[in-house]
Amino acid sequence: MENVLELKDVWKIYDLGKIKLEVLRGVSFYIKKGDFVVVLGPSGSGKSTLLNMMSCLDVPTKGQVFLDGKDVSVFSEDKLAIVRGEKIGFVFQQFNLLPHLTAIQNVVLPTLFRGTSFQEKTERAKEILSSVGLSSRLNHKPSELSGGEKQRVAISRALINNPEIIVADEPTGNVDSKTGAHIMELLENLNKKEGRTVVVVTHDAELEKFSNKIIRIRDGNLIKK
């Protein structure tokens, strides 16, 4: 199987003036197509920064990030934006839905920046929302939805552009355990049934059981088991 994502000696150093903060210290790993990866680490371990590198939200200070064989660490900001829109689906801990848009509008949002027509994508958004059990919530705003429902809208939004990888940052962090289990089940289904590559970043070791590959991080270094 080909590598969808590969990090080679990735460093992220924040220059805070007097001190240089090394958040990632030479991280290397790869993710194959169809993997379900859990990135595990305590807070402050650098896992959020690692997620930013993997999802093209940020570029490393040193090292390379290959997405689909292309070195995105040298991409311009706009090029990264296009890559994010096409190949990455985001699921955030805080859901990050736009409050003044309805569920379906939030789901369609990423297609806007790809020049595709809203109309044809609206049909697809409906299908996706139905598949996560939200067919009766299409025109509700985030404030009218429960935490679990919001996260399902966020997952639907991640799927709208048919991305290579779904990157989830603490997807169960803001919902109760029962809902959390449901969210994970949903991600597992996307991985098993649709063969999508899923990366979950968490501090919750419970989620290990869903993965076929675990990446542990502490103080900016990967821990080999």
Partner 1 sequence: MNTEYFKIALRNLKSRSMRSWLTVLGIVIGIFLVVSLLSLSEGLKDSVMRELKMMGGDILIVYPGDGSDIVTTMMGGVELKDKEIEAIKRAEGVDIVLEMPFTGSVVRHFQETKMALIYGIDLDDGLPLLRDNMGWEMTSGEFPRPGRREVMVGNLVPKDLFPEMMVGDSINIQGKEFTVSGVLRSLGNKQDDLVIALDLDDFRSTTGKREGTPVAMVQLYEGYDAEIAAENIERELEQSMTRRRDEDSPSFSVMTSETVTNMVDSIMGTVQLAVIAFASIAILVGGIGIMNTMYTSVKERTKEIGILKAVGAKRSDITKIFLFEAGIIGIIGGIGGVVLGLLLAISVEIYFSQIHPVFYLEAHISIWLILFGLGFSFAVGCLSGFFPARQGAKMKPVDALRYE
96 binds partner 1 (CB under 8 A): yes
β-pairing, 213-218 vs 221-223, is: antiparallel
The reply on whether position 14 binds partner 1 by CB under 8 A is no
Q: How far apart are CA 184 and CA 76, in angstroms?
A: 34
The single residue among 20, 62, 114, 192 that binds partner 1, judged by CB under 8 A, is 114
Q: How many residues bind partner 1 (CB under 8 A)?
A: 27
Q: How many CA atoms lie within 13 A of 89 on its CB side?
A: 27
Binding flag, residue 13, partner 1 (CB under 8 A)? no
List strands edge to edge, sheet with 197-202.
Answer: 88-91, 165-169, 197-202, 36-40, 213-218, 221-223
Does 50 help bind partner 1 (rule: CB under 8 A)?
A: no
Among 22, 86, 164, 204, binds partner 1 (CB under 8 A): 86
Task: Quote the CA–CA distance of 82 and 156 in Å, as a whole number.
Answer: 19
Residue 85 lies near partner 1 (rule: CB under 8 A): yes
Residues that bind partner 1 (CB under 8 A): 52, 55, 57-58, 77-78, 81-82, 84-86, 90, 92, 96-98, 100-101, 109-110, 112-115, 118, 157, 161
